């Protein structure tokens, strides 16, 4: 199960069922769970935890130093990856800049070829990150998100649950839950298909639509619109959407490029 050309440093904890390809390198601080597959020429550095049934593709580099010019590479930090993940060829994941910290990827995610996960990023569960996506430091990805190929995300940005981005988007502000983002920080509406596939009931989808219209398509500034919205009663999913708007990251929130007047919800 381990190719004779692979280099595995003393101290690495690797389950007996792990497959390791030719010329792979695994550091002594690595902890790799059952059923994992490590592709040829993959390089796994430093403190690294990988849960069961995950796959690291050929030439992927996991646990490398962050691209931070002030980083002290004697500091101990690492990468934590959950179970059932598929990191394809030439994916890169950098370790945390914080002593004892982790760059974290949850469970059942697919990171396609050439995608990059910067230092201190947090990725939830069941996300698809398409080819050549770039996540800068401290980005937070929720659950059930699809990031189109070639999209780039500025540091500290939050990407909400069940959101989706068009390929080659440039995102430097938060994407609220359930939304579609495109181009430069542009919201193109709600991910209705994704919500339907996720089993969100029609009544709940309608309520989220009503909250979206009230926030973004009225003739009021967002702050005043949120004050009005928060005086109303909403279900759990709509509250999740509204809370993300009311409590953005330091980067602020993406907006639709056209804000047209609509009837009051």
List, by residue number, the catalytic residues.
119-120, 137
Which helix (H) or strand (E) element contains residue 25?
strand 25-26
Q: Where are the alpha helices (DSSP H) in the chain?
A: 192-197, 202-216, 222-229, 236-246
Structure tokens at 46: 């430093």
C-beta separation of 179 from 254 below 8 A: yes
The residue written with tokens 């029609």 in the block is: 202
DSSP 95: P
The closest of 29, 28, 34, 2 to 15, measured between CA atoms, is 34
Task: Give bridge partners of residue 87 from the DSSP assignment.
Answer: 56, 111
Tell me how far apart the alpha carbons of residues 70 and 199 are, in angstroms, rounded to a whole number. Answer: 45
């Amino acid at each position: 199960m381990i190719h004779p050309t692979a280099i595995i440093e003393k101290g690495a904890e690797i389950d007996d069922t792990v497959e390791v390809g030719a010329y792979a390198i695994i550091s002594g601080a690595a902890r790799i769970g059952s059923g994992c597959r490590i592709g040829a020429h993959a390089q796994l550095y430093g403190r690294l935890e990988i849960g069961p049934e995950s796959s690291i593709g050929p030439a992927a580099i996991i646990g490398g130093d962050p691209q931070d010019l002030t980083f002290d590479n004697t500091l101990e930090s690492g990468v934590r990856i959950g179970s059932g993940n598929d990191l394809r060829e030439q994916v890169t994941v950098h370790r945390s800049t914080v002593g004892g910290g982790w760059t974290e990827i949850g469970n059942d995610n697919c990171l396609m070829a050439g995608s990059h996960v910067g230092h201190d990023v947090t990725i939830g569960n069941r996300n698809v990150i398409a080819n050549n996506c770039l996540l800068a430091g401290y980005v937070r990805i929720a659950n059930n998100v699809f990031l189109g190929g070639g999209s780039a995300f500025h540091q500290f940005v939050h990407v909400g649950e069940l959101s989706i981005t068009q390929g080659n988007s440039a995102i430097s502000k938060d994407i609220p839950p359930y939304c579609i983002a495109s181009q430069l920080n542009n919201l193109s509406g709600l991910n209705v298909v994704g919500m339907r596939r996720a089993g969100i009931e029609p009544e709940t989808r309608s309520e989220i639509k009503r909250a979206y219209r009230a926030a973004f398509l009225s003739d009021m500034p967002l702050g005043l619109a949120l004050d009005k919205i928060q005086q109303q009663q909403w279900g759990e999913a709509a509250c999740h959407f509204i809370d993300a708007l009311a409590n953005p990251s330091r980067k602020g929130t993406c907006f639709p490029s056209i804000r047209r007047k609509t009837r009051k919800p």
